[in-house]
Amino acid sequence: MSIEFLRQIAATPLPKSFTNAKDIDAVKILRQAGLVIALVDQPPESAATVFAITDEGNAELLRFHYPENDRRRPAKDHWLPPAAQRACEALKRSIRGA
């Protein structure tokens, strides 16, 4: 359940707020596992807001693969690591230039 909920969070723009008690509990589990950065209201919990998915959360999303059908398709390179590398390089260049 939690990984599927994490997958749903990853598919939506962040920050994302939740007010359903079941969703708030799921956010608390993901936050406790270190998979998301989230803020949960003090008891009684009436809302939770997910601000980001951590590196660990992204690693879990990449680890779990749910095949869409029985036919195996060749694995494609994932776009995230090269994009993260380009972003890091751009940040380094901008810091050096500042």
> Which pLDDT does position 10 carry in this prediction?
92
Length of the chain: 98
Q: pLDDT tens-digit profile of 36-62?
A: 999 998 877 789 999 999 999 988 888
Q: pLDDT tens-digit profile of 58-79?
A: 888 888 765 554 455 555 567 7
The verdict on residue 79 lying in a domain is no
The verdict on residue 37 lying in a domain is yes
The verdict on residue 86 lying in a domain is no
> Which pLDDT does position 70 carry in this prediction?
45
Query: What is the number of domains present in the chain?
Result: 1
Euclidean distance between CA atoms 24 and 54, whole angstroms: 18
Euclidean distance between CA atoms 69 and 39, whole angstroms: 37
The verdict on residue 60 lying in a domain is yes
CATH label of the domain that carries residue 42: 1.10.10.10
Whose CA is closest to 58, among 6, 5, 1, 4? 6
The verdict on residue 83 lying in a domain is no
The verdict on residue 26 lying in a domain is yes
Domain span including residue 30 = 1-67
Q: What's the one-letter identity of residue 13?
A: P
The pLDDT confidence band at residue 1, using thresholds 50, 70 and 90, is: low
Euclidean distance between CA atoms 50 and 28, whole angstroms: 10
